[in-house]
Amino acid sequence: MNKKNLTIKETFALAYQNHQKNNLRVAENLYNEILKINPNHFESIFLLGSLSLQTKKFDAAIQLFYKAIEIRPEHADTHYNLGILHQKLGQYQNAVSSYKEAIRIKPNFADAHYNLGATYYKLGQYKEVIASSKEAIRIKPNFGNAYLNLGLAFRKSGSYDEAIASYKKAILV
């Protein structure tokens, strides 16, 4: 079938397949083709934003994520990815806000709790790291990196026995 005869749904499926297979340039071109026809196609905007984050095109990613939020403000993964982007850019307060919004929308979002804790660590807010890491572990009990963050925060707080126990858990899970 000729590419020009594909529907948006078919083009999106092809874009997504290429994205999954790490054929990022092909996926990017297909997402952009969809957006020429339907500039508010949420899935293409969100995934093109994710692809832009993945390929370190941070300016494009931030614009795409904010556009996705305009279309679907209650999409937790968009806020989460925006948090990752802000974190990569060293914009820690913005990252905290994005992760908190993702958690507000989806309270049991373990990765958002974990990344919120990691961001608090960058800010030197160790009590918040401990709370966020414990919440990530409550949701996902074998979350090794959350135990590691917990151990780091306990160490920075001077709670060495708890730090050691957390490090041991991180190794065992």
pLDDT tens for each residue of 91-139? 999 999 999 999 999 999 999 999 999 999 999 999 999 999 999 999 9
pLDDT of 148: 97
Confidence band, pLDDT 50/70/90 cuts, at residue 2: very low
pLDDT of residue 171: 95
Residue 6 above 90 pLDDT? no
- Of 131, 88, 107, give the one whose Cα is nearest residue 149: 131
Which pLDDT does position 14 carry in this prediction? 97
Residue 1 has pLDDT above 60, yes or no: no
Per-residue pLDDT averaged across 32-45, rounded?
A: 97
Residue 16 pLDDT greater than 70, yes or no:
yes
pLDDT digits (tens, 9 = 90+) for 137-147: 999 999 999 99
d(CA 162, CA 100): 26
Q: What is the pLDDT of residues 43-99, one digit of tens each?
A: 999 999 999 999 999 999 999 999 999 999 999 999 999 999 999 999 999 999 999
Q: What is the pLDDT of residue 3?
A: 53
pLDDT confidence of residue 27: 97
User: Measuring CA to CA, how many Å separate 42 from each of 6, 108, 110?
Assistant: 18, 23, 24
Write down the pTM of the prediction: 0.92
Residue 23 CA to residue 77 CA, distance in Å, equals: 22
Angle in degrees, 0-180, between the axes of helices 110-122 and 144-156, rounded to the nearest 10: 30
